[in-house]
Amino acid sequence: MNGTAKRRSDQFLSGAMIAMLALVLAFLVTPLLVTCLLAFDARGFLGPLPPPALSLRWFEKLVSLDYVATGLATSLKIAVLTTVIDVLVGTAAAVALDRGSFRGRGLLMAAFLSPLIVPAVVIGFALLLFLSRIGIADGFIRLLCGHVVITLPYVVRTVLASLTGRDRRLTEAALVLGATESQAFWNITLPLIRSGMVTGAVFAFAVSLDDVAVSMFLTDPSTYTLPVALVSNMRASFDLTIAAAAVLLMAVSALLILVLERFVGFDRLLGQGLFRS
């Protein structure tokens, strides 16, 4: 192949990759744009796009539904408590797994991370049976247990990534200079894994706020989350309040992304690694 043919081949491949990326981007973004348009649709029915007029009627209806407000309040309480528990337990577990060299360490790590690969329906059904067996019937506590189980791996994984890449000589130097183990942890280790803790907390909060599959098994008639309330609303009478709720959840997701960018930075999160704090 001569030089001209090779350049044309490279240009063709480059063009094909750009076209593929554009298609993927369109596939990801188009449903979100359609949802946003429908959320502001002034019509009282699901009609063809674009809508002839825009209004906030579906947002007004969404905030006027008492059971949606109840579900939102429960979701926020569950998400905040889940995040706090995850950060405390997940950080402690990650530090123990990083420092420990005991038998069964790999098995224990796999157990902590297994909710990432086990289907949510299986986790929800298993938790329902287990919690009922040990006498936990309160819907809020069952939801909290379920959300901690499915979100804990995010904190464990991100903190482990931070611990793996840190320079252990910094901790050793602190100990040599007279610091105690706890002082070395609070003054050296904790600041180094801060980005992993923040990232795990944001992921845990977002996953908890968005979960449907596990929550469906653990709710009771008086305690349910926002996604469960929205699914119930769709089954009873389908209208565009679900689109308004989706827009609000997208706004929350955008806010969480801004938090990640502010405290961690996507360049470190995706390109350079969490450990470079």
Burial of 239 (0-12, 13-18, 19+ CB in 10 A): middle
Q: How many DSSP H helices and E strands does the chain contain?
A: 14, 0
Measure the CA dihedral 118/120/125/129, to 10°: 70
Q: What is the pLDDT of residue 237?
A: 74
**What is the rounded distance in angstroms from the CA atom of residue 229 to the CA atom of residue 104?**
42
**What is the rounded distance in angstroms from the CA atom of residue 162 to the CA atom of residue 137?**
38
**Cα radius of gyration rounded to whole Å, the chain:** 24
Q: What is the pLDDT of residue 152?
A: 92
**What is the rounded distance in angstroms from the CA atom of residue 219 to the CA atom of residue 78?**
12
**What is the rounded distance in angstroms from the CA atom of residue 143 to the CA atom of residue 77?**
11
pLDDT block averages, 10 residues each, the chain of length 277: 74 87 90 86 77 83 83 90 94 86 80 86 90 87 92 90 78 80 83 85 88 88 86 78 84 81 64 47
The answer to whether the beta carbons of residues 86 and 154 sit under 8 Å apart is yes
Task: State if pTM tops 0.75.
Answer: yes
Q: What is the pLDDT of residue 231?
A: 83
**What is the rounded distance in angstroms from the CA atom of residue 74 to the CA atom of residue 27?**
33
Q: What is the pLDDT of residue 269?
A: 57
Omega of the bond prior to 50 within 30 degrees of 0, cis?
yes
Phi, psi of 43 (to 5 degrees): -75, 160
